[in-house]
Amino acid sequence: MDIDWDGVTHVTKVDPVKALPSGLSMLEATDLVVVGGSDGVTESNTLETIRSLEDACPATPILQEPYSSAHVSKTTIERVDGVAVPAVYNGDRTHFVGKQVDLFAEIGRQPDALLGSSLPVVGDYLASKGEEVVTQLTSKLVGEGYVVQHVDATAASVAGVETAYSPKQVAGAALATETFYGFPIFYIEYSGTYGGPDDVEAAARYLEETTLFYGGGIDSQAKATEILAAGADAIVVGDCFHDDPDRFRETIPR
Amino acid sequence: MDIDWDGVTHVTKVDPVKALPSGLSMLEATDLVVVGGSDGVTESNTLETIRSLEDACPATPILQEPYSSAHVSKTTIERVDGVAVPAVYNGDRTHFVGKQVDLFAEIGRQPDALLGSSLPVVGDYLASKGEEVVTQLTSKLVGEGYVVQHVDATAASVAGVETAYSPKQVAGAALATETFYGFPIFYIEYSGTYGGPDDVEAAARYLEETTLFYGGGIDSQAKATEILAAGADAIVVGDCFHDDPDRFRETIPR
């Protein structure tokens, strides 16, 4: 299914390495599930998680957010509704443009291997078929312009983030996303800690077409409400989904 | 005027530091003039060049390509049809995302100073007016995804380019431009030397919405034809415009 970004208010982030809680049908109330993590994630545990989610809540769209292209395969691509490609504004060069160009160079070079086409054709027809396959694949990719604001988090060290942005820099990155880089999602990530509404307010002022995600430390209705009131289009809830389903349910807007 | 990218085949790059040749009306035959350079460029000589061009060929659109935001002012923005904001794929972090976020943060912070508005209003109205001014300005900005392939050129050292991309990497950057970063222009820059058709062929395969520019060493009809036949939407001619107007005229497609 195509993801209707305008209808996404509550996002659940599921780490394939962590155990899924019982009562997965609670995910029918979330608007999008993002599957991804860093340490210990593999294609295999990603697929296992995707299958469990499909069984429990078949109507909820799934976005895979791979850390490495090794977690992406023909099978994951076919099973999910989108594959997120993050670009970290306040990270190092590798995590804003380096890995991304490598990924697209790889896609351009190996459309058959990536999507499993093995047509016995050569020359121009293969070239043209290759481009169709590339188009199918890239149409599933979802660019996310990230600002990682909790510099002690794993996400920060992985992406080469040494300094958090000021709210004015967050606003600049938001305006750049909306008018220059054109990612459909601008993502303010506090990863495990609650960052409050300031960055969200700064960014929301300049975002119209772009969907604004906030993630980090949301474990109550009050925090969920505060971030949405500050202008976020959607809140992303991760830790308490795995750790405390009762608190998780509280974060879902009614 | 809005620039009609589909109609742009021949682009002339004018350096404000160099003397303009006589017979400027030859620019009526080019589809776009880009005004920019690095060493010695100022807002003042940029404006002087823009004025001379407006007098000589009022129907030809002008794109300012500033190296520094000090070359941009309310006056230059109002006089030109677009302001280019390059992002260099194979440059350092500063020249793909650092300067760009700084620029957009500055625009978000100082809309009044940038566009000279001095309305005696406060509070919400100013905020809302500020956003309109920002929208006016950002609508004039034109993102250019650059690959700088002549590593000995000034453009390369300025942008922190240490290594030229292989044709496969050029293809990756092109595909990333088309499907991920969304810049309207992908620019292969050989800056003073002729790079031949290989990179252009590699990039053109993945570009549909994006306009493909090639610049560098074009000083004859044969080279112009070779690059356009390889799939470039437009050739950019600079040096011989200033140095050898007869050769320059030869580069204009009939």
Q: Please give, rounded to a whole number of angstroms, the shortest distance from the CA of B49 to a CA of chain A.
A: 27
Q: Is B44 left (phi over 0), alpha (psi -120 to 50) or beta?
A: alpha
Q: What pLDDT was estimated at residue A119?
A: 44
What gap in Å lies between CA A215 and CA A232, rounded to an integer? 10
Burial class (CB in 10 A: 0-12, 13-18, 19+), B62: buried
- Contact list, A96 vs chain B (CB under 8 Å): 93, 96-97
B118-141 pLDDT per residue, tens: 444 444 444 555 667 777 788 899
Identify the pLDDT of residue B132.
Answer: 73
pLDDT at position A106 is 84
Find, in chain B, the residue whose alpha carbon is nearest to that of A128.
Answer: B205
Q: Do B175 and A105 touch (CB under 8 A)?
A: yes
Taking residues B87-98, report their average pLDDT: 96
Q: Which H, E and C letters describe chain B, residue by residue?
A: CCCCHHHCCEEEEECCCCCCCCCHHHHHHCCEEEECCCCCCCHHHHHHHHHHHHHHCCCCCEEECCCCHHHCCHHHHHHCCEEEEEEECCCCHHHCCHHHHHHHHHHHHCHHHHHCCCCCCCHHHHHHHHHHHHHHHHCCEEEEEEEECCCCCHHHHHCCCCCCCCHHHHHHHHHHHHHHHCCCEEEEECCCCCCCCHHHHHHHCCCCCCEEEEECCCCCHHHHHHHHHCCCCEEEECHHHHHCHHHHHHCCCC
What pLDDT score was predicted for residue A226? 98
B82-88 and A185-189 beta bridge pairing: unpaired
A124: which residues sit within 8 A by CB, 6+ positions away?
A: none
Task: Report the C-alpha gap between A96 and B108 in whole angstroms.
Answer: 22
**Nearest Cα residue in chain B from A160:** B93
Domain positions in chain A are: 5-92+142-250
Positions of chain A with pLDDT under 70? 110-131
In this structure, whether the domain defined by A5-92+142-250 belongs to CATH 3.20.20.390 is answered with yes
Chain B: nearest CA to A206, how far in angstroms? 8
Nearest CA to B190 among B231, B238, B249?
B238
| Beta-bridge partner residues of A235 | A10, A214
**Closest to B177 (Cα-Cα) out of A97, A55, A172:** A97
Exposed/middle/buried for residue A16 (C-beta within 10 Å: 0-12, 13-18, 19+): buried
- B153-172 pLDDT, tens digit per residue, is 988 998 999 999 999 999 99
Would you state the pLDDT for residue B128?
59
When scoring A100, A104, A126, A199 by the number of chain B Cβ atoms within 10 A, the one with the most, hence best to mutate, is: A104
Instruction: Give the tens place of pLDDT for each residue, B228-246.
Output: 999 999 999 999 999 999 9
Residue with tokens 């019982």: A22
**pLDDT of A33-71, one tens digit each?**
999 987 899 999 999 999 999 999 999 999 999 887 778
Please tell me the predicted confidence (pLDDT) of residue A37: 87
pLDDT the model gives residue A109: 78
